[in-house]
Amino acid sequence: MEKLTARRNTNLDALRGIAILMVLGRHAGMALTLLHASNVLSSCTERIGWAGVDLFFVLSGFLISGLLFADYQEHGKIGVGRFYIRRGLKIWPSFYALIAAGLLIDAVMKGHHLSSKGLLAELFFMQDYFHSIWGITWSIAVEEHFYLSLPLLLLLMIRRDPGRPFSDLPRVFAAIACFSLACRFIAGWKQDGTIDSWTCVFPTHLRMDGLMFGVLICYFKRFRPSVYQWMVKWRGGWLVVVISVVVLSIFPVESRQMHTWGFTSLYLGAGFLVAKAVAREGPRPIRIISSLLARIGFYSYSIYLWHMFFVWKVLPHLRITSPGWLYWWTIVGSILFGVVVAKIIEIPVLRFRDRVFPTAPRQMAKHEVVEGVAMA
């Protein structure tokens, strides 16, 4: 494991590992379905794996707000400029390298053509509203919009009430949750009952509530610890997690139920899972499993970003004919490919970032240890 992970929270990285495995399982299962060779395992991962993105959203809300709250607690203000620079150096190099690599390959291969509209959507992080080149990058756009808007929201709250700047966050979350849910109910569905993902699934205004629930949990942890401890200790929280799993199992991703209140149930379950994971390490067997998953979770961004590149541009050249081998190569190969890309692009850039634009004075390390957001 890289030394960069020394101050990370193992359980949070383990949840990242679970999230990325769910996404990879989804796409591996889809590959077998296209070949009419699906089995019980591939059908299961295809049906539920997409929810890994919702887990990522809650994790991002928790972790990114933790960076901003830590900055405020340490300095009495939020360094928005430094935050944007550090986020940009985390997201942009690998992202634009993916776009460039895809364009280069398409330029030299026969039968490929470039969609100028799709390229513009990718370049300006609007691929959650417009058809793009890489379908999976819609979630990157949602998170990018979140990174841009959250610091401004927190600055507004600080200016409005310097004494208790974030006390309105529960009400803000409630308003955003109701707004996103209402928008999902009124989103346009086709007459045949099918959906267009760019109007009913991907747009930021439909998915911001999951990210904001992560922010709310982090607010409770840092500013209202009694509420956070209630979330951790309340046994009903596990019931919320179970209900979200049941909903995920019953309603397919294409259903209107899932695309309305189903998303709400998923982020509520993911949120309680995150809260409990941060507070407790668990018995030794759980810690061992968490440490293994964390090794994958550490590289989750590069794995997620590049896994469809591996599936579309690399995997076909391996000439794998067995459906079983294809399923596992989609998952394992995507992980290995993402790790290699991370070591080539993401990690060197993050080392440079932390040298030139460090988070803050040494005291902030205490907050980073608690939240596990070193190198976030």
- Pick the range with the lowest mean pLDDT from 44-48, 132-136, 216-220: 132-136
Sign of CA dihedral 321, 325, 331, 332: negative
Q: DSSP letters along 262-291, please? A: IHHHHHHHHHHHHHHHHH---SHHHHHHHH
Q: How far is residue 276's CA from residue 241's CA, in Å, rounded to a whole number?
A: 11
Q: Which two tokens stand for residue 369?
A: 């240890």
Question: Can you tell me the mean pLDDT for 176-182?
Answer: 97
Closest alpha carbon to 273 in 282, 284, 260: 282
The pLDDT confidence band at residue 181, using thresholds 50, 70 and 90, is: very high
Average pLDDT of the chain? 90
Q: Any residues with CB less than 8 A from the CB of 92 and at least 6 apart, and which? A: none
Label residue 22 by pLDDT band (50, 70, 90).
Answer: very high
HSE of 74, CA atoms in CB hemisphere, 13 A: 18
Report the pLDDT value the prediction gives residue 9, as an integer from 0 to 100.
Answer: 87
Inter-residue contact 253 to 206 (CB < 8 Å): no
* Rounded Cα distance, 68 and 78, in Å: 6
Q: Which of 370, 358, 301, 243 is nearest to 93 (CA)?
A: 301
Give the confidence band of 375 by pLDDT, cuts at 50, 70, 90: very low
Predicted confidence (pLDDT) at residue 108 exceeds the cutoff of 90: no
**Inter-CA distances, 59 with 4, 109, 154, 216, 273, Å:** 19, 38, 18, 11, 10
Say how many residues make up the chain. 376
Considering only CA atoms, which of 22, 14, 21 is closest in space to residue 274? Answer: 14
| Angle at which helices 138-160 and 52-75 cross, to 10° | 30
pTM: 0.92
Q: Which position has the higher pLDDT, 108 or 6?
A: 108
What is the structure's pLDDT at 109?
A: 75
Residue 296, token pair as written in the block: 């994958």
Check pLDDT > 60 for residue 87: yes
Structure confidence at residue 190 (pLDDT): 64
- How much is the pLDDT for 376? 62
204-258 tens-digit pLDDT: 999 999 999 999 999 999 999 999 999 999 999 999 999 999 999 999 988 889 9
pLDDT at 192: 62
Q: What is the pLDDT of residue 107?
A: 80
Smallest Cα–Cα separation from 278: which of 78, 2, 58, 87? Answer: 58
Mean pLDDT of 105-127: 84
Mean pLDDT over 58-71 rounds to 97
**Which residues, including other chains, have CB under 8 Å from residue 160's CB and lie 6 or more apart?**
168
- Whether 311 contacts 27, CB under 8 Å: yes
Per-residue DSSP letters for 290-331? HHHHHHHHTTHHHHHHHHHHIIIIIGGGG----HHHHHHHHH
The total of other beta-carbon atoms located within 10 Å of residue 362's CB is 8
Give the lowest-confidence range in 40-54, 58-72, 182-196: 182-196
Per-residue DSSP letter, 376? -
- Token duo for residue 39: 């089995």
- Do residues 54 and 263 lie in contact, with contact meaning Cβ atoms separated by under 8 Å? yes
Residue type, 158: I
User: Tokens at residue 268, please?
Assistant: 């509520």
Kindly indicate the confidence band of residue 189, based on its pLDDT and cuts at 50, 70 and 90.
low
pLDDT band at 371 (very low <50, low <70, confident <90, very high): very low
Question: Helices 138-160 and 169-186 sit at what angle, rounded to 10 degrees?
Answer: 140
